Structure 1
Amino acid sequence: MRGQGLRRRARADRAGELPDVTYRVQRLDPRTGKAQWTYRAATGVQDVYLPSSDPPVLAVAAGDSVVTDLVSLDDRGKHLSTVSLAGYEAKCASRYFSSPLFGVVENCDGMVVGRTPAFVMSKENITDEQPSGWIVAFDLRTGRTQGKFEGCWLQMVQPLRMSGDELLIHRRSGALSPASVVSWNPRTDKETPVLLFILPEDEEAELSDPERSDIVVENGNVFFARRTVVRDEEYPKDPVLLAVGYGSAGLKH
């Protein structure tokens, strides 16, 4: 899962120069640094990201710099399945301007990897009166879909992280409803509200954008933090919003 897999380290190396670059992914013993297994990406792959090291899942850009497929491996580095990401937004290189030196490991903001499924957000749908986006669960063993969570019209949805076997999702605010964090169980298709909140109106577009801000859910709270801060040139001494958090008011007896 994201944020866990480096107990048994995995790394992605590349050799050569484009267009002849080749990649290999290795799981390393943290005590000795020796490779426990090596997986070599197919010829023609231009970029490799590691959204999860445990279980090992690769996001690969085949023939272009945009991620095109997910490749899942077993504990010995053997290929399990390949999932086409046509129509989806893994967002693996968005935060670091496609730099090969940063954001390669466990930084794909458009997807979350669980124990057996991977959850990937769709590209934005601009058709009137239809969901603006959705999240699909893919079985890492077979590559087949296991479920689909639909957003609402004018309300994009983004996977945040796992909570047990359920997925935490951020749903942006809409014309008639506030923003929210919900929990979704792909087996039962049950949606459970976690938090409802209203982001500052002038800041919402940037804070809700996974390419420009970090969104973190911890202990029943949700936090939004910009990755870059720019002062107002006209009013340089005015404060600039860096982060904002929301939590349940709770009940005191």
Structure 2
Amino acid sequence: MSFGPPPSRFTQSVVAAAEGRKRRTSLVVGVLLALVAALCSGAWALWGSGGEASDAAPASARPSPDAIRETVERTPGTPEGGTVAEYTLKTLKEGEEAPAPGLWATDKIVAKGTANVIRGISVKDAEEEWKIKFRGPLCAVTRHVSVDGRTAVIYSGQGPAKADKKGGTGRDSAAAPCDRVAVFDVDTGRKLWDKKLPGESAAAMSVNITMTQGTVLTATGQVSVGYDMTTGKRLWSDTRPSDCVDVGFAGGRGLLALVQCGDSTDPEFRIQRIAPRSGKSLWTYKVAPGIQGVRIASSKPPVIAVAAGDIQVTTLIALTDRGKQRSTIRLEDDRYVHGCDGTFSSQVELCTGVVVGDRQLYMATKPRDFSPETSRGLPSNEVVAFDLSTGNGVRKFAAKPGRPMFPLRMSGDKVIAYREAANAPSAAVSLDPKSGKEALLLLFGNPEMSEMTALDPPDVVYERGRIFLAATRVERPKGDGPHQLVMRGFESSG
């Protein structure tokens, strides 16, 4: 099994060390990749994604069912964690591989996509509860989930036979014509609506989907559309030929569009704040000339990542709520693990290593090489907090020697992070930006298992006191057994 696509928020030195190594066929949850879990039982407060407490609705306020979910976690009764669910794929033939996009979780179900199927697995007994089989492979997914457990996907409405004629394998979305959008309930597996996308079908590398404020947004090359999340009614569409096209959208608490104008060899990029229900542009920020690529790290507060003079991201730019430049953060000397680099994809919500709150932004520095003889107690790396108003670093959270630490997401006004460990269980921790203190949340993974090693990073969902790790592409090399472990989850034993 391989874990792709390319690395995001994880340790770059670890990934480099793994290059050239034969990819294992079992999902090794481990020491170096085991990700944060479980925060607790008790009352849960939900609000729009990415915010700190001051910008969030009060915990007592009941959010709209179609608002985008962001769970505020609590410390579990005990940090010791255990396996809560697994998903094993048994349908791959020798030498076959397939994309495995999509990972979503609620308090009842963890859902995982592979090829043209999404399966829902109970977190109570690890049994498969439901299955959605699409006609063709999944092309694009969104990580966003509504408060009442809905999410959206783009898929190919053409079956394997037609996909094969167009150069596809029937399982692979790369060559499949992506022409349909669907919304489903993660708890029940019920498909709530399914629509044909307007215009000509596009390849998977050209499609984009996200969600915000009761609206599903799609962009497919020359066409962008807003749908009502509940009914599937088309609220607006932009199908007019133009020199400027919507590359994609970033959703969550707000909605930003990445617009590209002009020749692809000398593009001009713009960021637009979009009204989700009407498609109206509320403001436009023109990115400086000479920029070769742009990604969106956060829709609200707006933060973008730009690549100046090359395809690698060099700067983060924070914008005001009116679309004016607020501050810049230079990513000097390739020092940070930001996850914003990516080519040949219309995915704009790509900066998985950048966690954005209302007032601060968080990134990890790249891990230092570690050995007991040379490190002498030096921290493996730091999680750095940057002030969005000034772009200056304002606080560092030092990792432990030999245990690099990386931020995952906001949980209220705190940052959830995980620590990798080669010779001890990995850990989930809570970082308090105000006090600078760290609190242990979960210990998980078994360092005594010889199969645990560093692989390309899996997809990760951290929800309702549980952590789920899953492959984004699976393969079965010749000679391997039929059981391909695709996903595993942990929760606190307390």
Superposition TM-score tier, normalisation by shorter sequence: 0.7 to 0.9
* SS of 1:187 mapped into structure 2: coil
Pair 1:58 & 2:307 matched: no
Which amino acid letter does the alignment assign opposite residue 235 of structure 1?
D
Aligned to 1:218: 463
Aligned to 1:126: 369
Distance change >3 Å, CA 169–CA 20, structure 1 → 2: same
Identical-residue share of aligned pairs (%): 38
Aligned to 1:171: 419
Aligned to 1:144: 392
CA deviation after TM superposition for structure 1 residue 201, in Å: 4.6
- What TM-score, normalized by structure 1, do the two folds share? 0.87
* SS of 1:205 mapped into structure 2: coil
Aligned to 1:113: 356
Pair 1:244 & 2:488 matched: yes
CA shift digits 1:66-113 (9 cap, x unpaired): 1111100111111100010121121123xxx522412x12x3121111
CA shift digits 1:177-230 (9 cap, x unpaired): 210100001221100001001156525412xx5xx3122221221111111111
CA contact (8 A) 2:253 2:299 kept: no
Counterparts of 1:61-80 in structure 2, within 5 Å, are 61-80=307-326
Looking at both structures, which has the greater relative contact order when contacts are Cα pairs under 8 Å and sequence separation is at least 6?
2
Pair 1:192 & 2:439 matched: yes
Which amino acid letter does the alignment assign opposite residue 413 of structure 2?
D
* SS of 2:366 mapped into structure 1: coil
* SS of 2:454 mapped into structure 1: helix
- What TM-score, normalized by structure 2, do the two folds share? 0.46
- Structure number, greater radius of gyration: 2
Query: How far apart, in 2, do the equivalents of 1:154 and 1:230 lie?
Result: 31
Structure 1: runs of 5 or more not aligned: none
Pair 1:202 & 2:451 matched: yes
* SS of 1:242 mapped into structure 2: strand
Query: How far apart, in 1, do the equivalents of 2:327 and 2:270 lie?
Result: 17
Structure 2: runs of 5 or more not aligned: 1-48, 51-143, 145-211, 213-250
Query: How far apart, in 2, do the equivalents of 1:108 and 1:146 lie?
Result: 21
CA contact (8 A) 1:147 1:187 kept: no
* SS of 1:188 mapped into structure 2: coil
Query: How far apart, in 1, do the equivalents of 2:305 and 2:267 lie?
Result: 16
CA deviation after TM superposition for structure 1 residue 19, in Å: 4.2
Query: How far apart, in 1, do the equivalents of 2:443 and 2:274 lie?
Result: 42
